[in-house]
Structure 1
Amino acid sequence: MNFFVHESSYVDEGVEIGSDTKIWHFSHIQKGARIGEKCSIGQNVNISNNVQIGNGVKVQNNVSIYEGVELEDYVFCGPSMVFTNDLTPRSKYPKGTEGYKKTLVKYGASIGANATIVCGNSIGRWAMIASGAVVTKDVPDHALMAGVPAKQKGWVCECGHVLKEQLKCSECEREYNLSNDTLIESV
């Protein structure tokens, strides 16, 4: 076994866990879930059936990743953030797997503490979702989203710093251009 699972956590049969991944206290990884290499799964995390998680993903404490959610490589999920997978849930009328809406969080995106991601949407590469935001629509690559419902407040560099009007990062000096509402790194 080349990964770590704390003794208080449960990992169902039929789960794949990549090397150097750590699963901390009181977590449950359900059947069919696939977790990549070098991930950190915090305390009290539930990863539902058939969820796919890429490499280098960090899931902080108290997050449930429901069936229908996919996290690409290097995604960050802040403490107590929320994913949904059913737009119109009813206890009396469960829809099951066929009724779940898909959610894709793309490479390098970060979701802040207590944010909510409504199902059926995609979060773009390197996007930054502010703490407490409620995402109700697709998020472009590099977008900074905040509020309820979340609205785009600007652009974010790959390194995580908010870009000024010149679209040059003051931290790492990457430069970007805006073309048809799409941020593209200058070469």
Structure 2
Amino acid sequence: MTTPDRPAVEPSAHVASGARIGAGTRVWHQAQVADDVEIGTCCTLGKSCYFGSVSRIGNDVKVGNHADIFGARIDDDVMISPHALLTEDRTPRATRPDGQRQGPGDWTSTPVIVRRGATIGGGARIAGGVEIGACALVCIRGRGSARRSRARQGLRQSARAIGWVCRCAETLDDQLRCPRCARVYELAADRLIEIQPGP
């Protein structure tokens, strides 16, 4: 059972001895957390998700079932939906040019960075080195992967900009107004700025 002063780890989950899990975090069935991973407080790590070494996860993060996170930097209040994949090496190989099997020191670590409040949609594949802006919403329809940096509060589909989203995650209309919470925004140098707060 989760308590304010300790995490709860299901018996079938594997948390390496060098991993650090914050208080109130729930680690569900068959999840794997590698050495040198830091996970903040009050997170939910879904069934069979994986966290590779040196991943840094903030507080109040939700990670869906079967998501794989390799070396990412994830801020607070982020949602990683089921089956998402965040990679860290953009050009991985099984062997070196001399034919020898690659080891841990052979990988090029360029982690994905996900800023506060962003959502990564189910099945999204995010290439190493991509930064997802604060409160951005990345959704993938069909096949596609995110390979470019994301604007703050941008709405992307298959690495293509399709609009802007409110802090509440609703898509803004053409006047940059939120139909759900009535916030109003303006664009300045391709950056979304809130000019009228919601109720």
Q: TM-score, normalised by structure 2?
A: 0.88
1:15 aligns with 2:24: no
Match of 2:54 among 50, 55, 58: 50
1:144 aligns with 2:155: yes
Cα deviation code 1:120-161 (max 9, x no counterpart): 1100000000134411110000000002xx111000000010
The CA distance in 2 between the partners of 1:89 and 1:131, in whole Å, is: 23
Correspondence 1:96-111 to 2 at 5 A:
96=104, 99-111=108-120
Give 1:90 shift.
Answer: 1.1
The CA distance in 2 between the partners of 1:6 and 1:105, in whole Å, is: 26
The CA distance in 1 between the partners of 2:192 and 2:125, in whole Å, is: 24
Counterpart in the other structure of 1:118: 127
Counterpart in the other structure of 1:134: 145
The CA distance in 2 between the partners of 1:183 and 1:66, in whole Å, is: 29
Greater CA drift, 71-80 or 130-139: 130-139
Match of 2:177 among 144, 154, 168: 168
Query: One-letter code of the match for 1:142?
Result: Q
The CA distance in 1 between the partners of 2:119 and 2:32, in whole Å, is: 22
Query: One-letter code of the match for 1:131?
Result: I
Match of 1:79 among 79, 82, 87: 82
Among all aligned residue pairs of Structure 1 and Structure 2, give the percentage whose two residues are the same amino acid. 32
Structure 1: runs of 5 or more not aligned: none
Match of 1:29 among 27, 33, 48: 33
The CA distance in 2 between the partners of 1:154 and 1:47, in whole Å, is: 31
Question: Which one has the largest radius of gyration?
Answer: 2
Give 1:102 shift.
Answer: 2.1
Query: One-letter code of the match for 1:146?
Result: Q
CA RMSD of aligned residues (A): 1.4
Counterpart in the other structure of 1:63: 67
Query: One-letter code of the match for 2:129?
Result: G
Give 1:95 shift.
Answer: 6.7
- SS of 2:163's equivalent? strand
Greater CA drift, 164-173 or 93-102: 93-102
Give 1:184 shift.
Answer: 0.7
Query: One-letter code of the match for 1:41?
Result: L
Structure 1 residue runs of 4+, over 3 Å off? Answer: 95-98
Structure 2: runs of 5 or more not aligned: 97-101
The CA distance in 2 between the partners of 1:131 and 1:19, in whole Å, is: 32
